[in-house]
Amino acid sequence: MPAVVSCLAMLAGGASAPGFVALSDLDPSIPQDIRYATADNFTGGVVDGYEEPVCLLARPAAEALRRAQRRLLRRGYTLKVYDCYRPQRAVDRFVRWAGEPDDLRRKAEFYPGVDKHRLIPDGYIAEKSGHSRGSTVDVTLAELPGRDLDMGTPFDFFDPLSHTDSPGIAGAARAHRRLLKQALAEEGFVNLPEEWWHFTFEPEEFPATYFDFPVAAASVRP
């Protein structure tokens, strides 16, 4: 049965979260734009559990991302991550936010075509996230030296246009999605068809555990 593990007592004792690393310690060449540690996300505020804008991942997933980055750099591209490990408390915050009908501050930007009360029934917000298991990353592509590529929609855009193979996306944006998907698939990442940015490394290191330690460098360093 899936377990939620906080690791808070262990971290208070001075140990790091087992099996997790900071991506920047393995590959500082991958830019990080951790949106949930800022107000630049669909909730309009810093999300619970995001103490620092850092990408934390289970080590095998981080190492696979580093391998994909090396391949892409040789072709003139770079990955850029938006989110990595996500604590359960952040997922809980998303669910609470979805139940706050009067908070529509970011509707025009993130879900213009979807009524907020439909975000949970339509699957855009869920009570559990693979991110909490540590092997899932939200990521995009940039062209060196750092110009973001057109992917057809923004990150976290709640709309069918965000489906990786959406027929509404053509031309360069469609090609960029395919490039991202192929580059990550070569290193063992599986795309979520409903979100072009969402990839899970398989086999997962922690396939049945939903962690809840905070997103902070201290969580993974002795």
| Residue 7 token pair | 């690791």
How is residue 50 annotated by DSSP?
B
User: Angle formed by the axes of helices 171-185 and 59-74, to 10°?
Assistant: 130
What is d(CA 80, CA 194) in angstroms, rounded to the nearest whole number? 19
195 counts as catalytic: yes
End-to-end CA distance of the chain: 30
Q: Please, what's the b/e burial string for 210-220 (b: 16 or more CB within 10 A of its CB; e: otherwise)?
A: bbbbbbbebbb
What is d(CA 129, CA 17) in angstroms, rounded to the nearest whole number? 18
Nearest to 34 by CA among 46, 25, 26, 44: 46
Q: Which residue has the tokens 């709309």?
A: 159
Residue 147 β-bridge partners = 143
Catalytic-labelled residue, pool 195, 202, 204, 205: 195
- Whether the ω angle into residue 145 lies within 30 degrees of 0, i.e. cis, is yes
Q: Which residue has the tokens 């669910």?
A: 95
> Catalytic site residues?
195
